[in-house]
Amino acid sequence: MGWAALWYAVAMPFLAYAVWIVKNRTADDLSFKPMLGLMAGAVFIISCMPIPVPIAGTSSHPCGTAISAILVGPVLSVLVASVALLIQALFMAHGGLSTWGANIVSMGIVGSFTGYAVFKLMRSFNFGLTPAAFAAGLLADWSTYAMTSFAMASALHGQEPMMGLFLKIMYAFIPSQLPLGILEGFMTAGMVSLLAKKRPDILVKFKILKQAELDDLEASA
């Protein structure tokens, strides 16, 4: 229970800050809550494809936090992920309430902030939307499972060196998570590319595209 409490303690400030942001944003933009709800639904659906990993005693799945972090920012993506994880824990026996805090840290915090940072870094070096989104999805997924491995090892290592168990769990995830991370990269890139073609105004609204870039896209269409 000590480790469960620790992860809750790490996760709750992020959730509290996210709720505060939502209250302030929705006061000025009534369309913001529906957008956040759509993101929560997307993350829920993407992450509802568990693949058992018997060696690690857990399951593997895509995460979806990269796309939410890109669109609404990493802090709100933590809230989005926490809602998806809570629904899964309550109604689908996927995860659990005692591990909810650890799952938020792994998928919500680490996944969201990694995906967002990778996307922003690549865009700052003038990479296009599609390759930046692909890298964000890929590394958000892999970083989530690196953190999951660390959380599991820290709680379960007993008398065994924690680093040894951490590496064992990481190796157990590789056969499933290596291709799933690549798949998530393609999914994230596809979603961002589709928005750029069909609803570039959304990307401008959330400051993913600059108005000048939107004008260039419309001029080349």
Angle of helix 129-156 relative to helix 162-198, nearest 10 degrees, comes to 150
The amino acid that residue 38 corresponds to is: L
The listed range with the strongest mean pLDDT (124-138, 165-179, 190-204) is 124-138
For the stretch 33-91, pLDDT in tens is: 888 888 888 888 888 776 666 555 566 678 889 999 999 999 999 999 999 999 888 88
For the domain that residue 174 is a member of, what is the CATH number? 1.10.1760.20
pTM above 0.85, yes or no: yes
Best CA proximity match to 59, nearest among 23, 22, 17, 95: 95
Q: What is the number of structural domains in the chain?
A: 1
Residues 122, 132 contacting (CB under 8 angstroms)? yes
Beta bridge partners of 60: 51
Residues 6+ apart with CB under 8 A from 40: 68, 80, 83, 84
Q: In this structure, what are the phi and psi dihedrals at residue 134, rounded to the nearest 5 degrees? A: -60, -50
For the stretch 115-158, pLDDT in tens is: 999 999 999 998 999 999 999 999 999 999 899 999 888 888 77
Tokens coding 162: 């924690």
Cα separation, 107 vs 124, in Å, equals: 25
Beta bridge partners of 52: 59
The amino acid that residue 157 corresponds to is: H
Best CA proximity match to 78, nearest among 41, 120, 116, 109: 109
Q: How confident is the model at residue 131, as a pLDDT?
A: 96
For the stretch 101-115, pLDDT in tens is: 999 999 999 999 999
Residues spanned by the domain of 212: 2-220
Residue for token pair 């939307």: 129
